Amino acid sequence: MQQLIECVPNFSEGNDLNLIKQITNEIESVEGVRLLNVDPGKATNRTVVTMVGEPAAVIEAAYLAIKKAGELIDMSKHKGEHPRMGATDVCPLIPIANISMEETAKFAQQLAKRVGEELNIPVYLYEAAQPDTARNNLSVIRAGEYEGFFKKIKEPQWKPDFGPAEFDTKRGGTVIGARDFLVAYNINLNTTSTSRANAIAFDVREAGRMIEVDGKKINQPGTLKAVKAIGWYIEEYGVAQISMNLTNINVTPVHIAFDEVCNKATARGIRVTGSELVGLIPLKAMTDAGKYFLQKQQRSTGVSEKELIKIAIKSMGLDELGPFKPEERIIEYMLNDKTSNRLVSMTLTDFANETASESPAPGGGSISAYVGALGISLGTMVANLSSHKKGWDDRWKEFSDWAEKGEAYKNELVKLVDADTAAFNKIMQAFALPKATPEEKAARTQAIQEATKYAIEIPFKVMETACASMEVIKQMVIEGNPNSVTDAGVGALCARSAVIGAYMNVRINATGYDDKAFVTDIIARGKEIESKAVALEAEIIGLVNEKIGI
């Protein structure tokens, strides 16, 4: 399994786009690294860059970028709203796939050692990469900022982890570490007052503020866990913002942070006008936000991923200061392999034309998956219509839950459209392998068998999913909006067809697989699913006919 880490270096330059491009060119020169996002800020005079790849490649790209930033940026002339201490101010590594935090921390330590020793830049470790818990907090390390580090670096307790204990006037110092996925998020206010913005920031941030009680100063924590926040004025936009780092979005999601700032701002006579994402965000954070705001409106959450994202953008005003393009801001979308969903990205006409062409794929398996997707889409539609039906206001959550189930089945079946064609292509590729030597023949035979097994498993998954989706369809015939009962009925016809069609593919592909025990088992299980789907279809159509009445 491929290991993937994300790296999000912050460079102390946000205005000179040519200079920024020179830095990102270094990143793009490394094979195996994808530059996902470059987000410059004029007022902060800071650019947040996001890249992803295998660890060794990412470390090389980060090293080259840090080196180039040190050559181009003069910190003695730097001014900006954001706290900073170096040309490359901070460079975190984040585990993304098939890699632990412990492993990621070791890679961060390797990068820090190389930067300190080869580039002679003072480097501090932070978060998971820093073994000394007394100095693993970024804000503590950076306290005093660039201007204060000339003195701070001479203190024994602030000796760098790597590199010289001499502060570099031009390049400053760098902080390198490993951390969980962090969302940098700014909330816009209808005020120009930094002090008012700071007051709200102190209300919500976990660290809170110091207050005096009975002549003693004590800490009053803020209302949001895993949140760091400060207030600042952004001249570029002419407004104050709450600048937040959400260090664990499982603890405090973006939408909760937004709502809480709205509440605290209102209490202080200030209004939130929108918000701004810096860098990238996980897909789940956006879909969870969409569901949250729909639930507040007592509307069904069983809608498409695209619709959930749209609701999240509008509810949090993420497009107030500029366009919010999901394909450029959501990490999963940036990592998508566009060839893996070639068929489902087509128009209906192009898909039909491709199916009708002389190419053997897409074939019956892909069409079965798509027919199943259409079937449960009809069931989901009835659930959504029922959730919003006049006079059924007290039942919106019941139908919303059914719609969410239907949406999940639909999404799975849509993925299987391209997966079935990919399975067919794997078989063709295996048959095309060389067979001149005994070794090549053995490797070719093994590849054919592995591809054949995969080509059995994909349509079997279509069978399971399409049959399971009939539970939603049946319930919508029984409980759903009576005006849409025939829509659910057509959904049942599609689901049954998907099961029968996929089972044909399971059987034909099973004829080429040598593991007879596996074949016997999956054919028997497939027969049970087919029988169940046929019986369900008959029951559902009977119920539909009863409700039609003529």
Last residue of a domain, one of 124, 147, 178: 178
Lowest-confidence segment of 110-124, 350-364, 440-454 by average pLDDT: 350-364
Beta bridge partners of 49: 38
Using 50, 70 and 90 to split pLDDT, how confident is the model at 1? low
- Do 200 and 243 fall within a single domain? yes
- Do 365 and 289 fall within a single domain? no
Using 50, 70 and 90 to split pLDDT, how confident is the model at 214? confident
- Do 108 and 241 fall within a single domain? no
505 within 8 A of 409, measured Cβ to Cβ: no
User: Catalytic residues, which ones?
Assistant: 82, 420
- Do 358 and 252 fall within a single domain? no
- pLDDT for 45: 92
Last residue of a domain, one of 131, 149, 178: 178
Residues in the chain: 550
Instruction: Give me the domain span that covers residue 264.
Output: 183-335
CA distances from 496 to 119, 167, 448, 501, 535 (A): 65, 71, 30, 9, 9
Look up residue 505 and give its two tokens. 């593919």
Q: Mean of the per-residue pLDDT values for the chain?
A: 94
Q: Is residue 509 exposed (0-12), middle (13-18) or buried (19+ Cβ within 10 Å)?
A: buried
Angle, vertex CA 364, rays to CA 359 and CA 370, nearest 5: 105
| pLDDT of 440 higher than 90 | yes
93 vs 81: CA distance, rounded Å: 24
- Do 140 and 257 fall within a single domain? no
Look up residue 35 and give its two tokens. 């530059």
- Do 343 and 478 fall within a single domain? yes
- pLDDT for 49: 95
pLDDT tens digit sequence for 173-182: 999 999 988 8
pTM: 0.79
Last residue of a domain, one of 303, 335, 367: 335
Look up residue 177 and give its two tokens. 């570490």
Q: Which H, E and C letters describe 226-267, residue by residue? A: CEEEEEEEECCCCEEEEEEEECCCCCCCHHHHHHHHHHHHHH
Domain harbouring 302, CATH code: 3.30.70.670
pLDDT tens digit sequence for 231-283: 999 988 999 999 999 988 989 999 999 999 999 999 999 999 999 998 888 88
How many domains, in total, are found in the chain?
3
| Residue 239, SS3 per DSSP | strand
DSSP state letters, 492-518: HHHHHHHHHHHHHHHHHHHTT-S-HHH
Domain harbouring 360, CATH code: 1.20.120.680
37 within 8 A of 49, measured Cβ to Cβ: yes
| pLDDT of 337 higher than 70 | no
- Do 423 and 515 fall within a single domain? yes
Q: Within 10 Å of residue 159's Cβ, how many Cβ atoms?
A: 13
For residues 182-208, average pLDDT:
95
Look up residue 362 and give its two tokens. 């897409």
- Do 134 and 117 fall within a single domain? yes
- Do 233 and 259 fall within a single domain? yes
- Do 325 and 250 fall within a single domain? yes
241 within 8 A of 320, measured Cβ to Cβ: no
- Do 132 and 161 fall within a single domain? yes
- Do 312 and 414 fall within a single domain? no
Domain harbouring 150, CATH code: 3.30.990.10
For residues 6-25, average pLDDT:
95
